[in-house]
Structure formats: structure tokens, C-alpha cells
């Protein structure tokens, strides 16, 4: 039994079949990579997990509960947390505030009217946020405004914002897109380190180096259909995958 | 006052609010050189300070630009006069009733308007305010008394008033024998200003306030962070509506007459100007903005050619006449022109408002005196000027 079970998910955009009977089982504690050429439906699939899109048919079960029909904040409260392709952060606020907000959201739930508490006195939340910032290597910059950070740092910040929520399932949409090789390797190391906490992860990625360094299992999506699902070693040698996506040359 | 910009501890807040209270209650002294120390104007500083502070909780924190806040001002005013009519001239029930009724109104209008954001939200609030304004003149005339305005009459029930000692003079709001007029009226408004600014300050520093700032910056991320943004924005809308209701009540406590013109869209626009002029998202900014605009309105508009001629009387005749005719465009009837120019200059050169200018001057002074390092640490968290949205 997987922690996330996706059964026969279909999604059409007008005449375009974005997802065609997609099935997916993600084991608890594993890293499951979803790869595929551009337009294969990877992001559409991810959007179906977080409440941004509702599939036309099919089911998405997380921990035995359906995620369909829930609003994004309700899905987050069940423990499914998403890192976006372009970092979604609070650009006008400091890094520390950026991380404290998700920590408050996890502690206080979807809404809490506490206008007379003082942020300065929320030591527990602050310490938690500081620890996470230290873990991703941003503790020195905690008082800087988020918009002043580099792209790579913004990605690390967003990751910190997701980690501070103690996610059960972490969805990563191209966590290393647009990063230099050094930054990419640093991110791989970071993701491996947080892997030790037993967080289940789904990674969408183009960079084969990242995929093969992290993934326990790989699903290959092409034109909305899962054409292969296996351990990385077998995916490498799968001729169907090479034809559809890798073209044989990359490996 | 410079410290209003930096984040500080609870103890620091108490010091700041004490300083602010001193500044408010010594207004009759330090406003004297500007010719602005008469009670009527100072009452308006306090009342519009409250109005703008409340507006800033919505606009400054969440970024939702309401163009209909004057509706709550009007609702507060009518409620206050009705409280006078029914319960008597004591200002306390009027204040409580106005805040509650304005809050309920804000809940309804906010619930509907907050389904949209950006310009659509602004238009919805504007539509609601104009609707209230027109209803007050038409179908709601039994409640609002239409164009004549709602006033307290001697034959009204006023069940808690002692009618044996009353004369035929105009009815004035009073508590413990203190009449809410002149300086007493100003101090009453001043006390409420200090209290409401303190509450606003607590909100700014709370986790709730932090969530509101997050709404302004990235609502999408907040939704995917497990936060339901609707109740947050609605709470901010209701709180700011209550502030407006309080301001409306105070207007009637000073002068027990409520008219619908208070709800016109120009009044809603004015509070937007005040907030932007002073500094969006800062605590003291909107109050400075409210003070500046009310000062311009009262002092500049009172200038006439004669007073100008007196000012330029030391110059040779020909020159002084030219100067008088040029300057008269900007004062008296033309005070809006000066205000408009000032507003344009601020928005272009100081998008963070007057407070940004003050903090720049403060930093300059700090650098001169060699405290630049310290200031950097203190001011590092100062809210940045509004990015062009």
C-alpha cells in the first residue's frame, strides 16, 4: 500500500488529453521521480494532487483519504506540501518571517484570530524557523528581504518554508531548474539529508543527474500516459523510455 | 518617532505609545506655531487619524484597496445619532453601538467584496458605498432624514437623560458633566486615538498581522501553506470598518448631526490619499497623512488675497502683486491644487510616503553622527516602500 495512490486519472483541456489513465503508487518514505518530455503532463499531475486542478475522472488517495475536491489549504493541512517550479515566497518579507509564516500555519491551522499575541514572544516557532534556516544554510541572511536573494537562495528558502511544516509528502516541481552544477549538487545533498527524516517525496525533474542521484523509483510520463515505472537502473535500460524521452544520447 | 519604523519588543511598544500619547496631548502647544492649535481642527486630526489608521490595517497590511470606507464612517455617524436620540447624550453607548453596527456592515460588505481581489474588489466596495450614499438620500430617509441630516431633538426619547435640568439650547453630548466640545472634545478623541493606535500596533506585531502581510505579498503561496486567506482578509476588513465606524461616531459626538455627504466617494478617496501620503503599512504614517490633509484643508483654504498681500508686503509693490496673484492659485479655493502637487511629488519621489522621507533624513543624521552601524541593525526590518502593484 502506497501513501499516495493515484488511480485512473484523466484530465482533458479542451481536445487535449493531458492525462490519460494515469496510475501511480508512492511508497511511504521513498523518493518517487516523475520524468518525461515537455508537455507530458507532469505538472498537470502535480496540480491534481494539491487542489489546483480537479481531474475529470479517477481518484487520488493520500493516507487512505481522497484529496479530490479539497481546497489547497485543506490539502496542505493534511501534510502534502508543494515546492513550486518558480519559487513562491513572500518577497516583501524577511527570510525569517518567510519561514515563520508556514510554521504558524502548521501550529494554528487554517485560520486563527490572535491579534494580541506578539511575534517576538513566539520563541518556539522562531527557534524552529531558525533551525530550518540553518539547515538550508540561510541563517546568516535571516533578516534580509526575500526579494533581494539570488534565485538559488530563493529556492532554498522555499524548501525551508516547506520543511518547517514537517510535511508527510513533499512535492518538488523541478527543484534544480535553472541552477548551476554546483548549486544543483548542493540541492541534491540537501534533499538527501532531509530524506533521512522519512519524508516521502515526489520529484519532477528534467536533470537526469538529479533524478538518478535521488530517486528510489521512477515513473516516465509521455503524452499523458505512464509508459514505464521501475527502479532507476531498469529505467535507464528501457528502450521504450529511451525512444520517447531520452533519445538514447543522454545516457 | 523615528523608532516607529523599527520592529521592537512589547516593552518598547509601551514606550512608543507613551511618547505618542504625549505628542497627541501636547498638540495644543506644539501646533501653536503652525496656527493649527484650535480645538475644531485638532479634533479632526484625531478623528481622521483613527479613520486612516483603521484603513491602513486593511490596505497597508493586506494590500486590499477599499474605495468604500466612507460608508462605514456614515454608518457609524447615523448609529451614534440614533443612540443619542434613543438612549441619551452619553458618548460611551454611542461609541460602542457605532463600532458594533459598522462592524456588522463591514462583515456583510466584506463577505461579498472579498470574493474578488485587485481592482474588482475596489470597484465592489465603491459600488457598495455609493449604494449606501444614495439609499441614505432616498428610501432610507426615515432613518437618515435625507438631505436635512439626522439630528437630536428635544422631544426624542433619550431615556437615560435627565430632562428636568434641560434648557432649550442645542443638545450636546456629555459625560460626567463634561461637554464633548472644544478642548474636552479633543481630549476625548485623543484618548481614543491613542487606544486605537495601540491596538493597531499590537495587530501589526502579531502572528495575525504577519499573515495579513503575507496576504499582500503572495496569496497563492499562503493558500499552499495551509492558510485560508478569506477569513484573514475578512477580519482585517471588519476591523478597519470598525475603526471607520468609531471615527464616524466621534464626528457626531463633537457635533450631533449626521449627513449622507459623509459617505460620498470623495470621502473614501480622501482616506486613501491620507494613507499613501503618510506612508502605507507604517503605523504613524496614516496619522501624519491625515494631519497633513486636514491641515491643508483648513489652513491653506483660509488664505485669501489680503493675507497673501500682508505676507509679501515687505517686497516692492509690483513684485508683491505678481507673487500674490501667482500664489493665490494655490491657496484659498485652490488648496486642492497644492494638495495635488504635494501628492504627486510624494508618490513619485517618496513612494513610501512622508514616513519614508523622515526615515531617510533620520538615516542621514545617523550616518553623520557615526551611528550608521547601529541604525542599520535597528532599521533593517523597516517595511520597504510599496512596490508598484
- Assigned C-alpha cell, A177: 531548474
Neighbour tally for B363: CB within 10 Å: 17
Domains identified in chain B, total number = 1
Would residue B313 count as lying in a domain? no
A52, closest residue in chain B (CA to CA): B224
Above 80 in pLDDT, residue B2?
Answer: no
Q: How confident is the model at residue B14, as a pLDDT?
A: 86
Q: Residue B388: which pLDDT band, with cuts at 50, 70 and 90? A: very low
Greater pLDDT, A94 or A248 = A94
Task: Indicate the pLDDT class of residue A247, thresholds 50, 70 and 90.
Answer: low
Under an 8 A CB cutoff, do B207 and A108 touch? Answer: yes
* CB contact (8 A) between residue B226 and residue A113: no
Q: Which residue has the higher pLDDT, B158 or A228?
A: A228
Domain assignments of chain A as residue spans, ordered by start: 1-79+167-251, 90-166
Q: From the candidates A67, A75, A87, A92, which should be mutated to test the interface with B, based on the most B CB atoms within 10 A?
A: A92
Is B232–A114 a contact, with Cβ atoms under 8 angstroms apart?
no
- Among A51-60, A87-96, A159-168, B361-370, whose mean pLDDT is lowest? B361-370
Name the residue among A153, A114, A123 with its Cα closest to residue B210.
A114
pLDDT digits (tens, 9 = 90+) for B124-150: 999 999 999 999 888 888 888 878 888
Q: Which residue of A has its CA nearest to B239?
A: A115
Statement: residue B92 has pLDDT above 70? yes
Asked whether the beta carbons of A17 and A224 are under 8 A apart, the reply is yes
Residue closest to A72 by CA, chosen among A92, A49, A88, A90 = A49
**Which of B251, B250, B254, B285 has the alpha carbon at shortest distance from B271?**
B285
Q: How many CA atoms lie within 13 A of A212 on its CB side?
A: 11
A27 to chain B, closest Cα gap in Å: 23
Assess whether pLDDT exceeds 90 at residue B159.
no
- pLDDT mean over A191-201: 83
Q: Which residue has the higher pLDDT, B168 or B212?
A: B212
Check residue A251 and give its pLDDT. Answer: 42
| DSSP-derived 3-state class of residue A57 | strand
Cα–Cα distance measured from residue B104 to residue B98, given in angstroms and rounded to the nearest whole number? 10
Would the CB atoms of B205 and A120 count as touching at under 8 Å? yes
B71 has pLDDT over 90 = yes
Which residues of chain B neighbour A73 with C-beta distances below 8 Å? 223-229
Residue A245: HSE in the Cβ half-sphere, 13 Å Cα cutoff: 28
pLDDT of residue B222: 93
What are the grid coordinates assigned to B300, written together? Answer: 491653506
Range of the domain at B176: 2-265
Please determine, for residue B47, whether its predicted confidence score (pLDDT) is greater than 50: yes
Residue B17 bridge partners (DSSP): none
Q: Where are the alpha helices (DSSP H) in chain B?
A: 10-25, 27-30, 39-56, 70-87, 91-113, 118-137, 141-144, 182-205, 207-217, 219-223, 229-254, 265-278, 285-299, 305-311, 317-327, 335-349, 353-368, 372-379
Mean confidence (pLDDT) of chain B: 84
pLDDT score for B352: 86
**Residue B166: predicted pLDDT:** 62
Q: Band of the pLDDT at B152, cuts 50, 70, 90? A: confident
CA B372 to chain centre: 34
Q: Environment class of residue B297 by beta-carbon count within 10 Å: exposed (0-12), middle (13-18) or buried (19+)?
A: middle
Averaged confidence pLDDT in chain A: 87
Q: What is the pTM of this model?
A: 0.88
* Euclidean distance between CA atoms A246 and A240, whole angstroms: 9
User: What band does B385 get if pLDDT is binned at 50, 70 and 90?
Assistant: very low
Closest residue in B to A101 (Cα) is B211
Q: A71 vs B223: CB contact, 8 Å cut-off?
A: yes
Specify the pLDDT at position B38.
85
Is there a domain that residue B336 lies in? no
pLDDT 10s digits, B215-255: 999 999 999 999 999 999 999 999 999 999 999 999 998 88
CATH 1.20.58.340 describes domain A1-79+167-251: no
DSSP 8-state class, residue B22? H
Per-residue model confidence as pLDDT tens digits over A44-95: 999 988 888 889 999 999 988 899 889 999 999 999 999 998 889 999 999 9
Residue B31 forms part of a structural domain: yes
Q: Is residue B158 a part of any domain in this protein? A: yes
pLDDT value of residue B232: 94
**Domain assignment of residue B152, yes or no:** yes
Chain B residues inside the 8 Å CB shell of A125:
207
Measured between its terminal Cα atoms, the distance across chain A in Å is 32
Whether residue B192 is contained in a domain is answered as: yes
Neighbour tally for B61: CB within 10 Å: 28
Nearest chain B residue to A114 by CA distance is B208
CB contact under 8 A, A111 and B227: yes
CA quadruple B9, B189, B52, B107: dihedral sign: positive
Residue A114, Cβ density class (10 Å: 0-12 exposed, 13-18 middle, ≥19 buried): middle
Which DSSP symbol is given to A168?
S
Amino acid at each position: 500500500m502506497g501513501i499516495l495512490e493515484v488511480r485512473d486519472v484523466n484530465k482533458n483541456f479542451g481536445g487535449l488529453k493531458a492525462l490519460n489513465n494515469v496510475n501511480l503508487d508512492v511508497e511511504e518514505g521513498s523518493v518517487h521521480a516523475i520524468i518525461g518530455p515537455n508537455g507530458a503532463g507532469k505538472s498537470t499531475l502535480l496540480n491534481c494532487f494539491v487542489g489546483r486542478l480537479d481531474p475529470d475522472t479517477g481518484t487520488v488517495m493520500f493516507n487512505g483519504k481522497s484529496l479530490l475536491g479539497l481546497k489547497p489549504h485543506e490539502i496542505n493541512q493534511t501534510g502534502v506540501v508543494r515546492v513550486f517550479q518558480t519559487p513562491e515566497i513572500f518577497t516583501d518579507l524577511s527570510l525569517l518571517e518567510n519561514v515563520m509564516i508556514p510554521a504558524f500555519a502548521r501550529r494554528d491551522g487554517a485560520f486563527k484570530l490572535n491579534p494580541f499575541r506578539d511575534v517576538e514572544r513566539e520563541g518556539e516557532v522562531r527557534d524552529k524557523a531558525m533551525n530550518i534556516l540553518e539547515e538550508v544554510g540561510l541563517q546568516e541572511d535571516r533578516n534580509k528581504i526575500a526579494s533581494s536573494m539570488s534565485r538559488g537562495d530563493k529556492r532554498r528558502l522555499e524548501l525551508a518554508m516547506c520543511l518547517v511544516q514537517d510535511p508527510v509528502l513533499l512535492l518538488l516541481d523541478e527543484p534544480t531548474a535553472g541552477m548551476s552544477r554546483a548549486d544543483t549538487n548542493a540541492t541534491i545533498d540537501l534533499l538527501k539529508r532531509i530524506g533521512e527524516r522519512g519524508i516521502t517525496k515526489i520529484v519532477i525533474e528534467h536533470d537526469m543527474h538529479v533524478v538518478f542521484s535521488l530517486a528510489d523509483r521512477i515513473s516516465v510520463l509521455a503524452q499523458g500516459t505512464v509508459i514505464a515505472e521501475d527502479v532507476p537502473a531498469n529505467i535507464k535500460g528501457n528502450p521504450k523510455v529511451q525512444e520517447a524521452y531520452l533519445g538514447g544520447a543522454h545516457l | 518617532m523615528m523608532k516607529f519604523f523599527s520592529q521592537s519588543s512589547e516593552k518598547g511598544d509601551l514606550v512608543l505609545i507613551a511618547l505618542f500619547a504625549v505628542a497627541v496631548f501636547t498638540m495644543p502647544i506644539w501646533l501653536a506655531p503652525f496656527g493649527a492649535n484650535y480645538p475644531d481642527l485638532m479634533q479632526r486630526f484625531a478623528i481622521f487619524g483613527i479613520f486612516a489608521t483603521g484603513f491602513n490595517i486593511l490596505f497597508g497590511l493586506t494590500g486590499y484597496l477599499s474605495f468604500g470606507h466612507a460608508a462605514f464612517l456614515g454608518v457609524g455617524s447615523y448609529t451614534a445619532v440614533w443612540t443619542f436620540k434613543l438612549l441619551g447624550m452619553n458618548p460611551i453607548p454611542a461609541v460602542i453601538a457605532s463600532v458594533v453596527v459598522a462592524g456588522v456592515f463591514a462583515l456583510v460588505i466584506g463577505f461579498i467584496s472579498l470574493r474578488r481581489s485587485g481592482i474588482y474588489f475596489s470597484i465592489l466596495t465603491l459600488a457598495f458605498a455609493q449604494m449606501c450614499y444614495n439609499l441614505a438620500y432616498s428610501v432610507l430617509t426615515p432613518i437618515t432624514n435625507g438631505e436635512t441630516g439626522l439630528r437630536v431633538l428635544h422631544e426624542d426619547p433619550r431615556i437615560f437623560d435627565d430632562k428636568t435640568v434641560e434648557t432649550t439650547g442645542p443638545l450636546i453630548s456629555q459625560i460626567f458633566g463634561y461637554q464633548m466640545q472644544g478642548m474636552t472634545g479633543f481630549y476625548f478623541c485623543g484618548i481614543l486615538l491613542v487606544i486605537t493606535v495601540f491596538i493597531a500596533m499590537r495587530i501589526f506585531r502579531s502572528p495575525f498581522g504577519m499573515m495579513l502581510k503575507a496576504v499582500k505579498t503572495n496569496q497563492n503561496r499562503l493558500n499552499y501553506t495551509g492558510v485560508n486567506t478569506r477569513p484573514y482578509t475578512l477580519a482585517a476588513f471588519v476591523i478597519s470598518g470598525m475603526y471607520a465606524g468609531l471615527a464616524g461616531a466621534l464626528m457626531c459626538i463633537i457635533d450631533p448631526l449626521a449627513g449622507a455627504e459623509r459617505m460620498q466617494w470623495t470621502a473614501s478617496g480622501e482616506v486613501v490619499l491620507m494613507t499613501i501620503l503618510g506612508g502605507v503599512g507604517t503605523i504613524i504614517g496614516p496619522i501624519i497623512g491625515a494631519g497633513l490633509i486636514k491641515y491643508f484643508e483648513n489652513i491653506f483654504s483660509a488664505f485669501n488675497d489680503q493675507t497673501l498681500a500682508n505676507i509679501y508686503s515687505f517686497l516692492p509693490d509690483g513684485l508683491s502683486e505678481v507673487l500674490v496673484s501667482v500664489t493665490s492659485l494655490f491657496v484659498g479655493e485652490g488648496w486642492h491644487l497644492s494638495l495635488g502637487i504635494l501628492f504627486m511629488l510624494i508618490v513619485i519621489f517618496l513612494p513610501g510616503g512622508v514616513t519614508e522621507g523622515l526615515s531617510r533624513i533620520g538615516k542621514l543624521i545617523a550616518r553623520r553622527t557615526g551611528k550608521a552601524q547601529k541604525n542599520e541593525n535597528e532599521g533593517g526590518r523597516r517595511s520597504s516602500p510599496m512596490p508598484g502593484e
